[in-house]
Amino acid sequence: MINTALHPVVLIVDDEPSARSTIEALLYPEGYVLKFADCAEVALEMMTEITPDTILMDLMMPGMDGLEACEIIRQNPNWRHIPIILITALDSKEDLRRALAAGATDFIAKPANGTELRARTRSMLRIKSQYDRLQNMLQLREDMANMVVHDMRSPLTSILGYSELLRKSLDSEQAISDLDKISSEARRMNGYFSDLLLMAKMEADKLIVHLTTVDVNSLIVKVFGHHSIIARAKSIRLSTDLDDTITELSADSSLLEKVIDNLISNAIKYTASDSEVIVRTRQIQRQGINLLEIRFEDHGPGIPDAHREKIFDKFNIVEMKNKNVSQVGLGLAFCKLAVQAHNWTIRVEDNMAQGSIFIIDAVLN
């Protein structure tokens, strides 16, 4: 039996038995694992059990044609990277344009020429092999990063523990104040590591959101308390304007607390001294849906319009930091993933006359 893990799998989709037999004869000497489907519907069913390395598909078939099948394959994140060679008797530029627009990677004129068929199949398999190697390298890098982040939390926990023990033995106000700052910064760093680990879980669909009834106003006040030392050191006032009529929210309390913590920390970090950070809540209705709007208002440098959609994307963070765009970091990427896990939304607006307003729209039951 041929080991499919060692030999590329080629899926051949054609409604004509003679065409399938011809392609089989032309590719058999290459040592590929050949799979066959007599229509696009059967091919899509087969792909739920096998993942081919390349697909050779007839364009004109009864029922679902090759173009429609291409579009369906490209919409599936598990399949969209698979090269597709369409085999077609059509040769007009408009037909070829439609094939490429539907997601075809390449095409061959029908009847297939043996030399051309083998060459193009090899080319597509090289592309797929390079993609697989890249994905494996990215996964390895992500696994190593997660491992490093996880291991670094251990010494941070020790720093926090010994800081607390040392604080109890000090009697100098200045020494206690300095130690409080050290503890606060260590907690912030520990929070970053927690965010990275949670982001990895969310992106791998391994995070379970535990919904409970959360008093969001109390949670905001609690998180403000965590940042009071840093805010006082920068002479920043922390204020709230909370809607008392709506306090309960169905949410994952731990995730929501981390989101609030990140957004308050971000606001304090970029707000100028002798200024103010305000968190407001209010009930609104948008398109017939009742929402609790949570607003985090700062008086920092603000975010240019061109970057407002990108600041929540971890893949754009390095580019924006190189362009000196403020208020950018993995914390915001985490916030977006956590908010989306609740089926809520997050966005940023201008805070006139200076600063930014980060807004969470949380759905009320």
* Average pLDDT score over the chain: 82
Structure confidence by residue, pLDDT tens digits, 146-171: 655 655 666 666 677 767 777 777 77
Domain 9-112, CATH homologous superfamily name and number: Response regulator (3.40.50.2300)
What is the rounded CA–CA span in Å between residue 22 and residue 58? Answer: 13
Q: What distances in angstroms separate CA 81 from CA 45, 101, 132, 342, one per listed residue?
A: 18, 15, 9, 29
Domain boundaries, the chain: 9-112, 138-203, 212-363
Question: Among 133-142, 260-269, 276-285, where is mean pLDDT lowest?
Answer: 133-142
Q: Please, which residues have CB within 8 angstroms of residue 365's CB and are 6 or more apart in sequence?
A: 250
* Residue whose C-alpha is closest to residue 203's, from 331, 338, 318, 316: 338
Q: Please provide the CATH number assigned to the domain covering 212-363.
A: 3.30.565.10
> Cα-flanking dihedrals φ and ψ of residue 85, to 5°?
-105, 115
Structure pTM? Answer: 0.51
Beta strands in the chain (DSSP E): 9-13, 33-37, 54-58, 84-88, 106-109, 212-215, 237-241, 248-251, 276-286, 289-297, 345-350, 356-363
**129 has pLDDT over 60:** yes
Question: E strands within 138-201?
Answer: none
Which of 2-6, 7-11, 191-195, 348-352 has maximum average pLDDT? 7-11
The per-residue pLDDT for 2 is: 41
Question: Do 138-203 and 212-363 show the same overall fold?
Answer: no
CB of 164 within 8 A of CB of 155?
no
For the segment 83-114, what is each residue's pLDDT rounded down to a tens digit?
A: 999 888 766 677 778 888 888 888 888 888 88
Architecture of domain 138-203: Orthogonal Bundle (1.10)
pLDDT confidence band for 144 (50 / 70 / 90)? low
